[in-house]
Amino acid sequence: MAKLTKKDIKEVNRLRGLFPKLVKVQIDRSNDGGFCAEVKTFPGCFTEANTFSELIEMVNDAVNTYLDIPNKFQPYMPTYIPPVNVAKKLDIFPIREKSSSIEFVIPNREKVAR
């Protein structure tokens, strides 16, 4: 990553302030076994993925896109992750439950720009 200027650091911190501590996400299984997600915290924010791990990445990408985070600052933005028990709740191995409403949280150990 390139070194940030003081102006960049100020902008990173401003952008980080746009992220709520958690986002509510409705996850549905598609008929082909993939996942569809609606980030309910941000109206009209939807994404999809083939695997659950890809879905986590896509939810974060959807939030960055919704908040219009410039690409150069995305590595400094918070990353939402679902609770560990979500895979069990959705019974990813094997697939059973078709839908679930969960919250993705930003872990406290996220890096902050300095």
* pLDDT tens per residue, range 40-77: 999 999 999 998 889 999 999 999 999 999 999 999 99
Across the range 77-92, mean pLDDT stands at 78
Model confidence at 106: pLDDT above 90: no
CA dist list (Å): 26 to 15, 59, 96: 25, 11, 16
Q: Which of 41, 27, 47 is nearest to 92 (CA)?
A: 27
pTM metric for this prediction? 0.77
Non-local (6+) Cβ contacts of 45 within 8 A are 38, 39, 62, 63, 66
DSSP single-letter state for residue 81:
B
Domains and CATH numbers, the chain: 23-105 (3.30.160)
pLDDT at 69: 98
Give the pairing of strands 35-39 and 22-29. Answer: antiparallel
Best CA proximity match to 36, nearest among 14, 10, 55 = 55
- What pLDDT, on a 0 to 100 scale, did the predictor assign at position 109? 58
